[in-house]
A and B are shown apart, each in its own frame.
Chain A
Amino acid sequence: MEKMPKWADVVLIPVISLFLAAIISALVILFIGESPTEALTLMVNGALGSTYGWGYTLYYATNFLFTGLAVAIAAHAGLFNIGGEGQAMIGGLGLALVCLYIPFPHWTIALVVAALGAGLFGAAWAAIPAYLQAKRGSHIVITTIMFNFIAAAVLNYMLVNALKPKGAMDPATAKFPESTQLPSLSEMLAPLGIEFTNTPANVTLFVGIAACVLIWGLIWHTPLGHEIRALGKSERGAVYAGISPVRTVMITMLISGALCGLMAINNVMGEAERLVLNATEGAGFIGIAVALMGRNHPFGVFLAAILFGFLYQGGAELALWTNIPSELIVVIQALVILFTGALDHMVRMPLEKIFIAFRKENA
């Protein structure tokens, strides 16, 4: 018999972890001499109080959707993909090459081809660590960390030595042609009579939601998903059931890398409309927190991505109006990872005891 009902595992534990993270963040804010309640009010107003705030919240959330899904699907196979940052960078490179060198008649075609380019590049960047893990047993956490740094160097080289327009100072590509510009959320909502401030939020949000649904279907309703989950539960069991670990690890990581690469549609094609050096802004790492918080379930990832989108937009507003730097969000992110990931047992053990005691009383 399970020690706890499923809802406690899925809802209660993340909520308690979030609550603990919030309390400690409040203490940190107090320690640096600011008011936690004022900070929270500012964050809520700044991120959710206007369509402007919502736009930015959803824009950030879209980034985290992709990286969160990427970490989640790898986790189902028992792999910790910490290389989302590098995969997203290289995905951005693939997308930039497509947008710069292929002329497109319309943004819809551009979106499909650019997504292919970004996904392929992201997947390729995940392929080497995946191969080394599957075939040679090199620890995927270490290799993906190394590949993050190598990706940064590759991107730097490409931008400075190859893609930078002649005479330009900053390491960035030229602006993408107009035919590749994606419609923003405000442009899409205008025909429906909804007034929405112009923000970076764009059509990619819907691509992200579609990805959530697809990944959900893949994990729970396809033979491949079954193989992935079987491998994650027990490699020996999976092998006994005739599942090839090498093949499953490769496919999982290719999907994971492709998802990270796809993030580039949002931040590179949708927002910046050119490739800059620090385009990913740590979103690859936030994916870890998002997946942990969302319990590796696509719907959970969706909710957690919105939560982190709120935190990022709220944090930016805080930095604007108070003496609290936006790094507060990094602290909150760290605490969420700590409580939902590493200190999971600390939260879980007392809760399990309560549930067992409760059950005994009822019996």
Chain B
Amino acid sequence: MPATPVLELRRLNKSFGPVQVLHDVSFSAEAGEVTALVGDNGAGKSTLVKCIGGIHPIDSGDYLFEGAPVHVNSPRDAAGLGVEIVYQDLALADNLDIVQNMFLGRERKRGLVLDEATMEEMAAKTLTGLSVRTVHSVRQQVSSLSGGQRQTVAIAKAVLWNSKVVVLDEPTAALGVAQTQQVLELVRRLADKGLAVVLISHNLNDVFAVSDRIAALYLGRMAAQVRTSDVTHAQVVELITSGRSGELGLANGDGLNGVKA
């Protein structure tokens, strides 16, 4: 019997006014796996992520966490469940150091004062646990870090809170080759440590390098969610650009899944 997915969305719908952005979208992420979310611009990836993160309330459909239906109406609800989202802009404070960033808004206190020692130790432990060797001191200002290091800190921040699901929005965009490769290995390590990782990426090579499953959105519908080992690059390109590939994908190429307009 397959394990229950940590995160499961069933027949999710989301409209902005008259525009329906997500149409009966089902999606799941399992512990220990990297699930890649791919799709063309405007396919609904960002909206789906914001629904997962509680930024957009869903119109209809089920949000299940560890098999139980939940209501996620705010980012705080999502964080409470253990769902962390690392957005493209990373939302790190440049003027603070790594420890301060990792604990921003959730500082540890000992009595009335901040427990700097414990926070520093936890931050260092998290980075070591992820085999991060590129950051020399956790007291470094974030403004002094490279793009890859910032991404690393943002990801480590998400992991620090015993999260169960980490959603990464284009983590390798704007990084050089060496840093991209380090971040890809970090993504893989997160899943190998038992987290459910959702990776949003435009770069299919990155997707093939680290993912276990691929979910392809096409015009607001889930064209297919497949095991990466069961598809070729060409098939995924077809799913992204036309919503189907051979037996896979939406029943007819118009994205209406057999429903006649």
Q: Do A and B come from one complex?
A: no
Contact surface of A with B, Cβ cutoff 8 Å:
none
Residues on B lying within 8 angstroms of A by beta carbon are none
